[in-house]
Structure 1
C-alpha cells in the first residue's frame, strides 16, 4: 500500500503552502502538470493529496494494472525483451467486437474448407505411399530416392495429424505450459524434418545426374538410410534449440496454446525462420541452379528410368517454398509486433491463423503430388485399388451364386 498523506484543515491546500524549498516545490508542480496531462482520470486526487515520489509510482502503477491489455505506449521501460507476460491474443482483449466477429467467422470457414478438401486426399495419399513402399521393399525393387520420399511422407502425415489442433478455432486449446511446449517440440520436429528431407531429395537428384567423385559421398548416396538418419538428428537438435526459446517458467499454469506459441520469445520466430525456411530454401535454390547450369552430356549419361523421381523432387521443393513462404512471413510479422510491444489487431491474428492452415494444406498437397507424379507410387497405388476392386467383385459374385439356388427352390 502506498502511503498518502492528507493535509490537515489548518493548512492551505496546494503545493504553495508546503514547507519545502523552492526548487522542490517547482519540481513537484511540473511533475503534477505532466501527470495530469498523461493520466487525467487517475490523477484527479492530486489537488487534495500531497504528491510524493512514491505516490507518483502508485499513480503510474494503477494506470498499468487495469483489466485492458497493455498497449505499445503504455508499457513500463522496466519490461525486458524476454518478459512475455503481457502478450495476449487480440480476440481475447480487443474491444472492437465487429472485427473480432468477422475474423473469427473467416477463420472457421477456412478451417472447415481445409478439413473438407485437403485432409481426406492428404491422408489417403500418405497411406497409399506407405503401402506401396512396403510392397516395393518386399520385392527388392526400391530406388535410392524412394526412402527419402517415404520419410517425407511420414513427416507430412505427422503435420496433418498436428493440424487437428486447429479444430478449436476460432478459440484455442487451454493446456498447461509444459503440454504446450511438448506439443510445439514434436510439431517443430516434423516441420524441420520435412524441410531438410526435401533438401536431401534435391541433393539426391543432383548426385544421380552427376555422380560424386568422393568415396564417402558415394557410399552415403548409395545408402540413403544413413542420410535420413543424419537429417532426423539435425531436425531433432534444431527443434530442441527452438523449444528452449519458449521461455517457459510456470510449467503447470494454463494458457491458450498454438503449435507456435504466442508467449515464445522473439528469438523463437527468428531462429525458426532462419533454420526452418531460410537455410532450406537457399539449399533448394542452390541445387536447382546447379541442375540448370551443369547439364549432363546425353552420350555420357543416358536418360535414367528414375527421371520421374527427379521431377517429383523438384515440384515438391517448389510447392513447399510457395506454401511455407506465407507462413514464415506471418511469423516474422508477429515477431515485429512483439519487438514493438504491441499485441496487434484481430486482423493480425486472422492472418496468422490463415497462414497456419495454409501450412497444413501444403503438406496435403505435397503428399498428393508425390503419389501421382512418382511413377512407382502411382502404378502401385492403382494396382492396389484394382486388387481391392477384384476382391469386392469376387465377393459379390460369390454372394449372388449362393442366392440363385435359394430363389430357384
Structure 2
C-alpha cells in the first residue's frame, strides 16, 4: 500500500530547507513553549508521581505482608500503579525536547512497544476496577460477573490481551529500515496510519464504551435495599471516580491529536509547526495524567491515606517528645570576685 511508504514524512521543525523567515519564527516560538512545558513536567510532575507511586507500592505490599491477604481492588490498584510508573519512566524520552530522541528504528519500536503495553494495561485494569466497584453495589449474578471475584485471573487476561495489542502496534510501526537512525517519539511519526487508528479504537474507544454502561448502571439503576446509598458508595473509593474524569479528559485530547496526525498522513502532509506543538503538548499531558492518577490514589484511597496520616501523627509525636526532653538552658549571672 502506498500509505505504508512513510519515507516522505518528517517533523515540520526539522524541515528548514523551504521555510520562510516567518515560519522560522513560529518554530522558535513553538520550541520555547514545549521546552518550558517539558521543564515543568520534569521538575514537578515526575518527582511527585514517582514518590506517590513508590509510597503506594510500599503501603499495599506492607498490608499484604501483615495480613497475608490482599483485597481485589488493592491488587488491581497495585497493577495500575506499576503500569503508570513504567509510563513515567518512559516519559524521560521528552527530556531532549524541543529536539527529539535520536535512535534507530528498532530501538524506537521497542520503546513504543513498552509504552503501548503500559498504556493499554492501565486503561483496561482501570475498567476492571470500575466493574468491581459496580459489583460491590450490585451483587454479581452471571458467571462472567462472578469471574471478577478472581482478580489474579482477570489480571492475567488483561496482561495477555494488552501484550497482543502492543505487539500489533509494534507491527504497525513498520518493518523497514530498522538499522537507520531517526527522530523518535513513543508514538513514532513514521508509523503507518493504521497505528493511530488501532490505538484510538482499542486504547480509548472500546474502554470508554465499557465504562459508560458502568456509570449508567451505577447512577440510573435502583440498588438492592441492603446496598449502601449512592453517595456513601462513591465515598468508599473516591480516587477511582476522580481518576476516571482525569483519564477521560487527558486521553481524549491525546487521542484526538493522534487521529488528526493520521488525517495528515492520509493527505500526504507533514502539517504545520503548530500541529507539531499541539501533538507534543498532548504527549506531555498524557504523562501528567499518569503522575496525577498516582497522587489521587495516594491521597484518596483509604489504606494509603490512613498510612500517610499515621506517619504524620508519629512524626508529630516524636517531635513533641523531643521537645519535652530538651533541657532548657539557664543563664547564670557571673559574679565578679572583687570585694
TM-score interval for Structure 1 and Structure 2 normalised by the shorter chain? 0.7 to 0.9
Higher Rg of the two aligned structures:
1
Q: Decide whether aligned partners of structure 1 residues 135 and 339 sit closer, same or farther in structure 2, where only a CA change above 3 A counts.
A: same
1:48-84 CA deviation, whole Å, 9 max, x = no partner? xxxxxxxxxxxxxxxxxxxxxxxxxxxxxxx811100
The TM-score with structure 2 as length reference comes to 0.88
Q: Tell me which residue corresponds to 1:260.
A: 187
Tell me the SS of whatever aligns to 1:245: helix
1:270-324 CA deviation, whole Å, 9 max, x = no partner? 0000000111111111211111122313x32246997545432222112101111
1:300 corresponds, among 199, 222, 226, to 226
- Checking the alignment, whether the CA contact within 8 Å between 2:137 and 2:233 is kept in structure 1 is no
Structure 2: which 5+ runs fail to align? 330-339
**Structure that is richer in helix per residue:** 2
Structure 1 residue 176 corresponds to structure 2 residue 104 = yes
The TM-score with structure 1 as length reference comes to 0.73
Q: Tell me which residue corresponds to 2:71.
A: 143
Structure 1 residue 201 corresponds to structure 2 residue 129 = yes
Q: Tell me which residue corresponds to 2:216.
A: 289
2:296 corresponds, among 369, 374, 399, to 369
2:149 corresponds, among 222, 240, 252, to 222
1:224-268 CA deviation, whole Å, 9 max, x = no partner? 121111111111111111111011312111111000000000000
Q: Decide whether aligned partners of structure 1 residues 332 and 135 sit closer, same or farther in structure 2, where only a CA change above 3 A counts.
A: same
1:241 corresponds, among 165, 168, 173, to 168
Tell me the SS of whatever aligns to 2:26: helix
Q: Tell me which residue corresponds to 1:212.
A: 140
1:309-345 CA deviation, whole Å, 9 max, x = no partner? 5432222112101111111011011111100001111
Tell me the SS of whatever aligns to 1:145: helix
Q: Tell me which residue corresponds to 1:58.
A: none
Q: Decide whether aligned partners of structure 1 residues 397 and 93 sit closer, same or farther in structure 2, where only a CA change above 3 A counts.
A: farther
Q: Decide whether aligned partners of structure 1 residues 127 and 308 sit closer, same or farther in structure 2, where only a CA change above 3 A counts.
A: farther
- Checking the alignment, whether the CA contact within 8 Å between 1:191 and 1:276 is kept in structure 2 is yes
1:109 corresponds, among 21, 36, 44, to 36
Q: Which has the higher contact order (CA 8 A, sep 6+)?
A: 2
Structure 1: which 5+ runs fail to align? 1-78, 405-409
Q: Decide whether aligned partners of structure 1 residues 333 and 287 sit closer, same or farther in structure 2, where only a CA change above 3 A counts.
A: same
Pairing 1:30-45 to 2, within 5 Å after superposition: none
Structure 1 residue 334 corresponds to structure 2 residue 334 = no
- The count of residues paired between Structure 1 and Structure 2 equals 321
Following the alignment from structure 1 to structure 2, what is the Cα–Cα distance between the partners of residues 185 and 291?
Answer: 35
